Amino acid sequence: MRTVVMSEMTWPEYEQALKDNPVVFIPTGAVEQHGPHLPMGVDYMLPMAIARDVAENVGGIVAAPVTYGYKSMPRSGGGPFFPGSTGVDGHTLSMVVRDIIRELVRHGVRRICVLDGNYENLWFLNEGIDLAMREVGDKGVRVMCLQHWEFLTEETLNKIFPDGYPGIELEHAAVLETSLMQHYYPDTVLNDLLPDNKPAGAPCYDVWPARREWVPAEGSLVSAAAATAEKGAVMAQQYREDMSAAIEKEFYGSDS
C-alpha cells in the first residue's frame, strides 16, 4: 500500500485496501488553544500520527480526522476564553461520528477504531458510536473507542513524570502533549516558549459563565518545562505496541 491514510488514497486504492477487512481508524480531537508554544490542532494531530503508526503496524487505514470537537472546559482545556478555541455542540459531534461510521460501513468497513485526543469528547463519541450501531444493524460491525493517554502505564508515567503525574485534566498543553508533539511534529513546537506556570487552581466543580481566573494566563494548565522529544518517543512506542495488541485482541482474537 502506498499510504495508510484514506484521504491520500485514490478510490481504487481504497477499494482494494478494504478487501482485507482492515481496521479503519477515525482520529478525533479539537481545535483549541494549547498554550503559547503548541499549535491549536494538537488534539487531532496527535491521534492522526498515532493512528498512522498503529495502522502501519496492524495493516489498518486512517480515515480523515474529525478536527472539531466538544467545547473547551476551563478545568481541562482552558475554557472558551482563548481566541481559536472553537468547539461544537456535543450533539453535533455525536452526529458527525454517527454519520462517518454509517458511511464507512456502507462501503464494507466492519472494524472501526475511534482514536480520540480531546478529553471532553468522550461521551459524545460514545453516543455517536451507539447511534451508529443501532442504525447499521446486524452486519457484524465492531467498534473500539479509546483516548490515547489511557494506554500510558504506571511504569511509563513514572518515566515521564519523575515528580508525579498531575492527572490528565491538568495535563493540557503540558508535558504529555508537548513531548508527543516534539516527537511526532518537531517543527510545530515553539520550544523557546515552553510555559513554566503553576498548576491551575480551579475547584472541583464547574460554573457558568466560566471564570477566567481559574485558568493560568498561558493556557497550559500545569508547567510544560520538562517536556522532551525523548519522552514523546517513549510514549509513542508504548502506543504503537499496546494499541496494536488491543486491536489484535478485539478485532482478530479468538473471541472476536
Residues engaged in binding Zn ion (CB under 5 A): 42-43
DSSP summary character for residue 5: B
Residue 131: Cβ-neighbour burial (10 angstroms; 0-12, 13-18, 19+): middle
Q: Which is nearer to Zn ion, 217 or 256 (CB)?
A: 217
Q: For the CB of residue 12, give the shortest distance to Zn ion in the complex, in Å.
A: 36
Which amino acid does the sequence have at 117?
G
3-state secondary structure 138-203: CCCCEEEEEEHHHHCCHHHHHHHCCCCCCCCCCCCCCHHHHHHHHHHCHHHCCHHHCCCCCCCCCC
DSSP summary character for residue 66: B
Q: Which is nearer to Zn ion, 94 or 118 (CB)?
A: 118
Which amino acid does the sequence have at 13?
E
Q: Which residue is nearest to Zn ion (CB)?
A: 43
Q: Which is nearer to Zn ion, 16 or 191 (CB)?
A: 191
Q: Which is nearer to Zn ion, 68 or 251 (CB)?
A: 68
